[in-house]
Chain A
Amino acid sequence: AQKVTQAQTEISVVEKEDVTLDCVYETRDTTYYLFWYKQPPSGELVFLIRRNSFDEQNEISGRYSWNFQKSTSSFNFTITASQVVDSAVYFCALAESNSKLTFGKGITLSVRP
């Protein structure tokens, strides 16, 4: 069975600090997909990234970067130079081939000015 663990529940940082959100997953499949979503206070989940299990290359998009390590079953998300607008709940999620998306419990990030 697939499982996603986000051990951190709440993180508070001061603006401009870097912050890393951890995600550990469990799956028996060799083909699977990992996602990060952002849920601002408005409630709508916003898609951030999708990676498949065969692509371990790290990705950078502006201030966001993702580190995928199959050896440790982790898919961590780093925000560089955090901003107040980054305050939200962040969810990591996993989908095995042709199966439903399983979300972690989310990490609440608060960025203080």
Chain B
Amino acid sequence: EAEVAQSPRYKITEKSQAVAFWCDPISGHATLYWYRQILGQGPELLVQFQDESVVDDSQLPKDRFSAERLKGVDSTLKIQPAELGDSAMYLCASSWSDGTYEQYFGPGTRLTVT
């Protein structure tokens, strides 16, 4: 069964350092999402791609976060510089079309900023 792949699974970094996460969606899924999930909360959308284009990044802190999906397949989310408040689970998901379709999630990257 096809799965969404993410790496790394765990990342510990110091404040002010740069960190990057990678996601490979299910083959054929045009839409890719990055979510941030703070402990005890539901996931919150950071950015949504349709193929290689960003369709929603309204909740992405653009002063320190960036995301790209250059060839419309895999994607990278970067934080520079990391802050203590960025400690969270970062989840990637993909779907056939827009947010009205079921999304399939990867295992997530748990980030700890010290």
* Structural contact, B101 and A50, CB atoms closer than 8 A: yes
A104 proximity list for chain B (CB < 8 A):
42
Contact residues, A11-38 vs B (CB, 8 A): 33, 35, 37
Query: Across the interface, which residues of A come within 8 angstroms of B104, CB to CB?
Result: 47
Where chain B touches its partner, the secondary structure class is loop
Nearest-neighbor residue (CB-CB) of A52 within chain B: B100
Quick one: which of A47, A96, A98, A99 contacts B103, CB cutoff 8 A?
A47
CA of A104 to CA of B44, assembled, Å:
10
Is B77 in contact with chain A by the CB < 8 A criterion? no
In the complex, per-residue mask of B36-69: 1 if CB is within 8 Å of any chain A CB, else 0: 0000111111001000000010000000000000
| CB atoms of A100 and B56 under 8 A apart | yes
Taking the nearest CB of chain B, how far is it from the CB of A55, in angstroms? 13
> Which B residues are closer than 8 A to A by beta carbons?
33, 40-45, 48, 56, 89, 91, 93, 98-108, 110
